[in-house]
Amino acid sequence: MAADVLSHGGVALYPTDTVYALGCSLDARKTVDRVYRLKQMDSRQPLAMICADLSDIARYAVVTNFAYRVMRRILPGPYTVVLEATREVPRLLLSKQRTVGIRVPASPICEALVRALGRPLLTSSAVPPGLERACIDAADGKASWPHGLDLTIDGGPTPGENSTVVSLIHDEITVLREGLGAVDGVLK
């Protein structure tokens, strides 16, 4: 049912392995605008993608042997990996550098949702307008967005800390944001 709502242009609030997130289907162009409006987010700030597993990533990003070895060590997990984008990535997701952020959360709900949908989710932490922290449970999200959500998946409380963002561009590890994922786990 959730995949059906998303495939027909719905916006979902769902738990990840870090915080709750807002998301929509990769091919839902008009719905992406709704996510930006709900968060009151600058449209130049890119959304990330949630893939079901490592094998899906190579379709949307350039995965070198170095990047694959790092990702195999840390994913699934509380990390967002920034890689060079392939032509499969919709332009609205691309940064000026033609990179894309990709997550493979250690979350059975995210994995099941992406698999049922048959394509990645576009995602952003569910940070209500005017606040700095993302929602940690479904009740927070429903209270923050009483209108505009087409689907809410209650998976219980989350750890409440954003993912660690790591760039693997040019086969170099650069930590862009420290979060729930241990930095030393990436640098090994």
Q: pLDDT per residue over 23-39, tens digit each?
A: 999 888 889 999 999 99
Q: pLDDT band for 91, please (50, 70, 90 cuts).
A: confident
Question: What is the pLDDT of the chain when averaged over all its residues?
Answer: 94
Q: What is the pLDDT of residue 93?
A: 73
Task: Write out the residue range of the structural domain in which residue 63 sits.
Answer: 2-187
Q: What is the pLDDT of residue 29?
A: 81
pLDDT digits (tens, 9 = 90+) for 94-136: 767 799 999 999 999 999 999 999 999 999 999 999 999 999 9
Look at the chain and report how many structural domains it folds into: 1
- Is the pLDDT confidence value at 173 over 90? yes
Residue 178 burial (CB count, 10 A): 14
- Is the pLDDT confidence value at 49 over 80? yes
Task: State the virtual CA torsion across 68, 110, 132, 94 in degrees, nearest 10.
Answer: 50
Alpha helices, H only, 40-172? 54-60, 65-74, 108-117, 138-144
Q: What is the pLDDT of residue 95?
A: 66
- Is the pLDDT confidence value at 58 over 80? yes
- Global pTM reads 0.94
- Identify which of 110, 52, 45, 120 has the alpha carbon closest to the alpha carbon of residue 86: 120
**Distance between CA atoms of 148 and 81, rounded to whole angstroms?**
29
- Residue 34, H or E segment: helix 29-39
Residue 132 burial (CB count, 10 A): 6
Domain with 151 in it: what CATH number?
3.90.870.10
**Lowest pLDDT segment from 57-61, 125-129, 177-181, 184-188:** 184-188
Q: Which residue has the tokens 């979060």?
A: 179
Residue 81 burial (CB count, 10 A): 25
Q: What is the pLDDT of residue 89?
A: 86
